[in-house]
Homo-oligomer: A and B are copies of this chain.
Amino acid sequence: MTFQKNAWYVAAMASEIDDKPLGRRICGLPLAFFRGEGGQVAAVEDWCPHRGAPMSLGKVVDGKLVCGYHGLAMGCNGKAHSMPGQRVGGFPANRSYPVVERHGFIWLWPGDPDKADPALIHQPVWSGNADWAYGGGLYHIKCDYRLMVDNLMDLTHETYVHSTSIGQAEIDESPCRTRTEGDEVITSRFMENIIAPPFWQMALRANGLPDDQPVDRWQICHFTPPSHVMIEVGVALAGHGGHEAPTDKKASSLVVDFITPETETSIWYFWGMARDFRPGDAALTDSIREGQGKIFSEDLEMLERQQQNLLEWPGRNLLKLNIDTGGVQARRVIDRMIAADSAGEAEVTSA
């Protein structure tokens, strides 16, 4: 197993699950998501105990997921609730998984249900805060989720992959610093007295600031398990304190990355941006989402081809340079979490 099981993963944007079920594989598990009574989301194995059809091809009736083949109705707990003309008491139940709707996402716990404490769900800074707005999207990428963690914990790739928007040579030239705080890994880079690249010039203009003046730029990447990366990014007019500059001297936001394994070599990548300026401006949210979507789509080919190369040369080691420290430390946390999963399972077995 290459991913942590006892953890909350983003399985979907809340808006993806409406009155119809959603079939999606998460951490190797084929699941059917649907809204039961009162709109509460449930996740059950995507299998009808009657004839093996995918439940996600069915529909939701009165809070039950009804198989689209012969009408077996299943409750949120995965048990057959009813079926026309049948007594369902003896039917085998589907496994159901802990699932919570929070912060605009559907969170899934693929591991031991007894440990699925909703208090462990990632708490985004923007959620429930009227000063902030959030917009984002979803990409499917055929790569190991840890390659995306590596990608986001080493932003020198911006200079090459995103050279026309957020990349600039100064990223490469400025050293980064990585530290670990418990299970969190933080990699930060500060660039002083530089010219902002195109994306940030646009952001400066949007904030009523000049786009041709030297700025201080920062990137502070926060990895937390199982596979979330939040990145504080921004520029301030040079000499006003950079990351600590007053609001009227800077443009900044939070890049949000929830990376969810679909299989060992593919992911659901929930990307987005949160900001604490003009939070009510929906047109701005749309515009930022569109721009970010274009930039982030530039990573897809590189990550998928990198994955193919790793499968082609399975014996080769990757280098771990200082710029890779964030990813290396994040993988250590991941390995520790996976080991804790196994230890927990061993306890259960020996009990």
Which A residues contact B (CB, under 8 angstroms)? 30, 46-47, 49-54, 57-58, 66-71, 83-86, 91-92, 150, 154, 156-157, 159-161, 169, 172-173, 175, 301-302, 305-306, 308-310, 312-313, 316, 318-319, 321-324
Q: Given that A302-B53, A302-B57, A319-B49 are contacting pairs, would A156 and B309 also be in contact in the complex, using a CB cutoff of 8 Å?
A: no
How near does chain B come to A171, taking the closest CB pair, in angstroms? 9
Interchain CB contact under 8 A, B47 and A172: no
Q: Given that A172-B84, A302-B53 are contacting pairs, would A68 and B159 also be in contact in the complex, using a CB cutoff of 8 Å?
A: no
Q: How far is the CA of A133 from the CA of B84 in the complex (A)?
A: 36
Residue of B whose beta carbon sits closest to that of A86: B321
Q: B residues within 8 A CB of A318?
A: 50-52
Q: B residues within 8 A CB of A157?
A: 69-70
Q: How far is the CA of A86 from the CA of B91 in the complex (A)?
A: 62
Interchain CB contact under 8 A, A67 and B160: yes
Q: How far is the CA of A91 from the CA of B318 in the complex (A)?
A: 10
Q: Given that A85-B173, A169-B84, A173-B84 are contacting pairs, would A319 and B50 also be in contact in the complex, using a CB cutoff of 8 Å?
A: yes
Q: Which of A49, A57, A312, A321 has the most chain B CB within a 10 Å cutoff? A: A321
Q: How far is the CA of A208 from the CA of B53 in the complex (A)?
A: 40
15 A–B contact pairs at CB < 8 A?
A: A49-B319, A50-B321, A52-B310, A52-B318, A54-B309, A57-B301, A57-B302, A68-B161, A68-B302, A69-B161, A69-B302, A70-B154, A71-B156, A71-B172, A84-B172
How near does chain B come to A326, taking the closest CB pair, in angstroms? 13
Q: Given that A67-B160, A69-B302, A71-B160 are contacting pairs, would A175 and B85 also be in contact in the complex, using a CB cutoff of 8 Å?
A: yes
Q: B residues within 8 A CB of A324?
A: 51
Q: Given that A50-B319, A91-B319, A321-B50 are contacting pairs, would A57 and B305 also be in contact in the complex, using a CB cutoff of 8 Å?
A: yes
Q: B residues within 8 A CB of A175?
A: 85
Interchain CB contact under 8 A, A313 and B52: yes
Interchain CB contact under 8 A, A316 and B85: no
Interchain CB contact under 8 A, A52 and B306: yes
Q: B residues within 8 A CB of A305?
A: 53-54, 57
Residue of B whose beta carbon sits closest to that of A305: B54
How near does chain B come to A297, taking the closest CB pair, in angstroms? 15
Q: B residues within 8 A CB of A169?
A: 84
Q: B residues within 8 A CB of A57?
A: 301-302, 305
Interchain CB contact under 8 A, B50 and A312: no
Pick from B46, B52, B150: contact of A51, CB under 8 Å: B150
Q: How far is the CA of A160 from the CA of B85 in the complex (A)?
A: 15
Q: B residues within 8 A CB of A53?
A: 302, 305-306, 309
Q: How far is the CA of A52 from the CA of B314 in the complex (A)?
A: 10
Interchain CB contact under 8 A, B30 and A312: yes
Q: B residues within 8 A CB of A67?
A: 160
Interchain CB contact under 8 A, B316 and A47: yes
Q: B residues within 8 A CB of A51?
A: 150, 306, 318-319, 324
Residue of B whose beta carbon sits closest to that of A53: B306
Q: Which of A47, A52, A86, A310 has the most chain B CB within a 10 Å cutoff? A: A52
Given contacts A54-B305, A71-B159, 14 further A-B pairs with CB under 8 A are A30-B309, A30-B312, A47-B309, A50-B321, A51-B319, A53-B306, A54-B309, A69-B161, A70-B156, A84-B172, A85-B172, A85-B323, A86-B321, A86-B323
